[in-house]
Amino acid sequence: MTKMKLPAEGSCRCGEVRVKITAPPMITMACHCRGCQKMSASAFSCSAAIPTAGFEVTAGEPVIGGAHGDDIHHYHCPRCKSWIFTRMVGMDFFVNLRPTMLDDASWFAPFVETYTSTKFPWAQSGAVHGYPEFPPLDAFEGLMKEFAQWNNADGSNTEI
């Protein structure tokens, strides 16, 4: 895994919506739920939980797409429809960024995989931990601490 360089910038496929992150992820994940499979048109979606203060949309105006619910908002480019990030109501301290939207996502590896109960038998994410659905909320603090150690196992995975 290569080092993540901050600040990091990226965009949707067409480039209309641009984002910038200035903080490393709190945790990285791969989700195998059917919703993520359908929205990503793949076996799983990738996400990096970025502290809200370290995330900004620098160009364009993303729109809500995918699942239209009261508790979760998936943001997409209005032109190319790329799924860029997700915000969850009541969890305003982070943004779930699709790391593949970054110009350089070579540093990304999922630490946790969720909804393994619906994953394709051939789909391998390489994640350290797997859960049949989401981990219990009280497990996240420990997982984030372990992720910080794992992510920096070689001394530091982030260059600022």
* Domains of the chain by residue range: 17-59+92-129
- The per-residue pLDDT for range 109-121, each reduced to its tens digit, is 999 999 999 999 9
- The per-residue pLDDT for range 68-85, each reduced to its tens digit, is 778 899 999 999 999 999
Sign of the torsion angle spanned by Cα atoms 75, 94, 21, 5: negative
Residue 122, both tokens: 């051939």
Segment 101-128 shows an average pLDDT of: 96
Determine the pLDDT at residue 3. Answer: 85
Prediction pTM value: 0.91
Q: What HEC string does 35-87 produce?
A: HHHHHHCCCCEEEEEEEHHHEEEEECCCEEEEEECCCEEEEECCCCCCEEEEE
Does residue 16 have a pLDDT over 70?
A: yes
For the sheet with 55-59, list strands across it: 8-11, 18-21, 55-59
Residue with token string 């992150």: 21
